[in-house]
Structure 1
C-alpha cells in the first residue's frame, strides 16, 4: 500500500499524523530555542567571570614584574615560574591556565620565550588575539580551544594583555579558562530537555489519540451506517447519545435517512406501478391489436379493388399497425428487464453470418439514403455463445441508426475478435451527437432530435433495449461521438458465457469527443 493511500483511507491516521508532526515541530523549535538561550547564558556568564578573573591575574603579574624591576638582583625566571604555578594548580581543578609569551619570540634575561601551565600548547592562543594584544594596552579576549601536549582539547576562552618588563622587553600574558564544567551543565540540561520533550511528545500523542478516537468514532460509525443504507438496508439508523454536536449530527443523519427511505420507498412503489401498468397495458392491447391486424391484412389484401385513396389508406393503416406492434414488443421487453425475468436462449452463433444477414435486410434502406455500408470482417466464420434474436436486434438497431444519421456518407462496420471477446464497431460520419446529449443516449424514449425526419419509424427504446441485451450477455456497448463528425458504437460480447472479458478487441476510440457506456 502506498503511503498516500495509507493516509487517504483513514481520517484518524491523517489527523493524528498531522497533529503529531506539528506538535513535534513546535516542541523541537521551543526546546531548541530555550536550550540555545540557556547554553548561551551559561557561556556568557563564564566569559564575563573569566574576563574579570583574568584581568585581576594580569594586574597581579604586572605588579610583580614592576616590583622586580626596582631590584637589580631580581630573578625574572623565578618570578615567571611563581606567577604560572601560583595562579593555576591544574586545569581540571581550577579550569584556568596561564601563558606568558615573548612578543619577539626570543629568550631574554633567563625568561623563556614561552611559559605555560600544565603543559598547555602555546597554539591555544589564536593569532588574531595575539595581534590585538600587541597593538594596544587594552585587555582582549577570544573564544578558543585549550590544547595540551597529550592531545586533549577543551573549549574555553583566552583573556590577554601586553606586559612591558623593564630592562627585559615586551611580553604577552594570557589567562585561559576552559568550559568543561559549563559544558557538563549544558549537556545535563540538554539531556533533561530531550527526555522531557520525548515524554511530552508521547503524552501529546496519547492525548491526541484518545481525543481523536472519541471524535472520529461517531463519524466512522456514521460512515458505516451510510454504507449500509447505500447497500439497501433502509432501516439502519445511528445511535444517538447526549445533546452535543455529535448527537445533533446523528439526529440529523437519522432524519435524513428517514426522508430518503420514504422517498425511495415511494419511488420504488411508483416504479413497480409503472412497470405493472406497462406490462398490463401491453398484454391487454395484444388481443385487440391482433383483431385489428387481421382486419387490416384483409383490407390490405383487397386494396386493388378500392379507390386509390382508400387503397393508400389501407397501406398506411398496415404500416402504422406494424409500428404499433413494434412498440408493444419493445414495451413488453422493457417490462421483462424491469422485472429481471429476461433470459437468454443460448446457442452457437456464426456472428459473421448474422451480421451479413442484418446488412442485407437493411440494404434497401441504405440504398434509398445513398449510404454505402463498408464491412471489415477478416473471418469467414466466427462462432460465439449467445442469443441470436437479441444480438440480431442489437445489430439492426445500431446499423439502422447509423444509416438514418449518415447523411449519405459511408457506414463502416468492423468485426474484431480477441482471446476472450469479440467487438463489432458501427461507425458513421454524419451529424453526430452533441457532447451534452451523450449521457442520455441510452435513456428510454429519448431522441437527440425528435423533429428529424427518418426513413424508418422508431419507439425511442432501441438503444436502451440494445444495452440491456448486451449487459444480459455479459457484454457492453460503448459510444464515441462528436457533433458534425459522426458517431461510433462498439458492441463487445464474450466468446463464451462462462468466460470473463479480459480485453476489448476494439478499445481504441478517437481521443476527441466523449466515450460513454
Structure 2
C-alpha cells in the first residue's frame, strides 16, 4: 500500500508539473525571442530615422560603425539598388518593404526586421536588421534547466510528503492489523496504540474495547463452565462412593479387581475434572503418544476380553511426542474406544494403530468391524444416531484441535466397519 500511495503521489505531481512546466517553457522561449526582436526593431527604427535625413554618402560610415558595435547585422537597400552594410540577399520581403511597409519575416536560419523609409527624392530605402536563431534562443536553455531543477525539487518534496503521509497513515494501520492478528490467534492481551489520524485512533480505541469485551465474556464463560463442571463432578461423588462399596461386596476376587479398577478410573477422571474446575490453567502440553495409547489399549483390552472382542494394537517406535497433554490424549482415546463398545455388538473386533506423521506429530486409527457409520456427517457434527450426547467425540475433537490436528471419519479396512482417525500435531 505504501508503494501504491507513493506511486500515486508521483503520478499526480508529475502530471501537475508537466501541465505547468510545458506552457511555461514555451512562454520563456517566446519571451526571449520577442525581447531580441524588440531590441533589433529599436535599432532598425533609429537607423531608419537617420537614413531618412542623411545623404547616402554619409551613411556608409554610420552603418559600418553600427555593425561593429551592435549584435544585430544591419543592411540598407537604397532605391537605386545599391547596398551598404552587411551583404544580404534581396528577398521578396525586402521588395515588399521597398513599397513603404515595415514587417518582420522569417528566414531559413533567423528573422529579418525590415523598415521601408521614404526618401526625399521620391523613393523608398529599406533598413534591414537580421537576427539569427542562436540570438532568438539565447538564455532559453539556461532558463529551461532552472525550470527543470525547480520541477525536480518540487517532485522530491512531493515524494517526501508522500513518505511522511504514508508513515502517518500506514504505520498505525499496520499496528491495527498486527493487533487484530494477535487477537485472532488468541492473544487477548494485545492492544492497539491510539496513534495516527483521528479516524484511525477511533478504530484503535474500538478494537481495544472489543478485545476487553471478548476477554470479559470468555472469563465469564470460563467461570460458568468451571462452576458447572465442579457441580457435576461433586454430584458424581455420591454414586462413585456407592459403586466403591458395592465393589467391595463382590466375593469373586477377579471380578472385584476388575470393578475396582473401573471405579478407580472413573474416580480419577472425576478428580481431574474437579482440579481443572478449581484451577483452569493447563499442565504439560506434550506427551508421548506411544505410552498413552499403549496404556489405554491395555485398559480397554480387558473389557474386550470380557465381551469376546478380538483386538490388536500396532504402535510406532517411541517415544513419539505430540502437542497435547497425557490427560487429554487419554480422555480422547477413552471416548473413541468407548464408542466402539457402545455402538457395536459384542464380539466385534477392533484395531488400534499409531504411527508418526511426516510433518511431526502422530496419527491414531481406531477401526472396527461393526455396522459402520450410517451418517458420517452426523458424527462430524458431534452427535451419533444412538441417542448419545456426542460428548465423547467432542473430547476427541478438542484434543486434536488443541494440537493442531483433526478427527476424520471413514470406513474400516476393506470398506467394512468404521474408522475414526485422530490426527495430532
TM-score by length of 1: 0.43
TM-score by length of 2: 0.50
